[in-house]
């Protein structure tokens, strides 16, 4: 999905779809659209949609009227409406759409642009089922946002945050027999290759030489080798870096003191600290922020024995 800004009017847009907003306590500036809203008894509650075809005065064959609730639009309601809009665009197999300009109470247009890109990009995330050929690509290819500005950096920022969130969610969604310490190390090395980052992975023998016995003691019962991952982004010369450490216990059975059985399947989420810092690194590298960032991930699996079973 690509985002852009345009000063083109919704009436002159010649893509697949134009998106207009409607409020409960305010009429639409386009009288023809307001007449159709009235004719269809459309109540512009947050996230509600009205799809119109071949509307006079519009080049597109499809116009979506999206409800935003009260005219004093809150950030929460705007985000909720965007999620609904994304679902509708995907459901109707829309490839390109123009979203009209809107004001959100207490925020400027830069925030609106950033939020639109972040929420819509995040909304197309799908859980990738293990053993399949990946997820189905979103039908949405281009989203244009009506604006008098030509500075699209906020769109890049918003989308980059969502892409980082997608990596974090993906790692958390994977079963623990896939997302192992080695998998986390491979993910870090892939990020390093994609964004030209510095990556160092210490193996079990390296950590033993350094006397890192506390970390190594956690993985002693597991067949999965531990990893200590360091990933560095340099965007601000010789400035002191921000350092984020993310816990990477890819499955935490509790070792000799087993966790309660009822919640054992959720112990794969003990690596979400690692997932979060790796997602943060991807977002910052994609935005090319002027910061120096180091993420450190001690990655282990905690099992009572190398042949112990675990829920998948």
> Domains of the chain by range and CATH?
2-170 (3.40.220.10), 174-302 (3.40.630.10)
Indicate the average pLDDT of the chain. Answer: 92
Q: How sure is the predictor about 31, in pLDDT bands with cuts at 50, 70 and 90? A: confident
Query: Span 188-205, mean pLDDT?
Result: 97
Q: How sure is the predictor about 264, in pLDDT bands with cuts at 50, 70 and 90? A: confident
Query: Would you say 29 and 173 are in contact if contact means Cβ atoms under 8 Å apart?
Result: no
What is the value of pTM for the model shown?
A: 0.91
- pLDDT(199) > 80: yes
């Amino acid at each position: 999905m690509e985002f852009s800004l345009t000063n083109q009017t919704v009436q002159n847009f010649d893509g697949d779809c134009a998106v207009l907003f409607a409020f409960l306590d305010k009429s639409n500036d386009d009288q023809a659209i307001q007449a159709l809203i009235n004719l269809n008894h459309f109540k512009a509650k947050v996230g509600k949609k009205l799809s119109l075809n071949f509307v006079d005065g519009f080049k597109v064959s499809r116009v979506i009227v999206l409800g935003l609730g009260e005219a004093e639009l809150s950030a929460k309601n705007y985000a909720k409406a965007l999620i609904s809009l994304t679902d509708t665009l995907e459901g109707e197999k829309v490839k390109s759409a123009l979203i009209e300009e809107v004001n959100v109470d207490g925020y400027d247009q830069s925030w609106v642009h950033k939020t639109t890109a972040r929420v819509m990009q995040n909304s197309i995330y799908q859980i990738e089922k293990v053993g399949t050929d990946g997820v189905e690509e979103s039908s949405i290819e281009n989203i244009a946002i009506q604006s008098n500005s030509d500075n699209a950096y906020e769109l890049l920022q918003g989308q980059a945050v969502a892409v980082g969130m997608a990596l974090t969610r993906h790692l958390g969604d994977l079963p623990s027999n896939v997302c192992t310490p080695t998998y986390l190390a491979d993910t870090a090395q892939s990020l390093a290759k994609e964004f030209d980052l510095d990556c160092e992975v210490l193996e079990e023998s390296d950590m033993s030489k350094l006397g890192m016995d506390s970390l190594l003691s956690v993985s002693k019962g597991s067949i999965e080798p531990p990893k200590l991952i360091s990933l560095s982004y340099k965007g601000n010369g010789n400035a002191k870096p921000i350092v984020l450490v993310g816990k990477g216990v890819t499955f935490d059975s509790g070792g000799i003191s087993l966790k309660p059985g009822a919640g054992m399947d959720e112990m794969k989420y003990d690596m979400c600290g690692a997932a979060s810092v790796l997602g943060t690194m991807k977002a910052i590298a994609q935005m090319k922020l002027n910061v120096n960032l180091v993420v450190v991930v001690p990655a282990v699996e905690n099992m009572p024995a190398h042949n112990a079973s675990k829920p998948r």
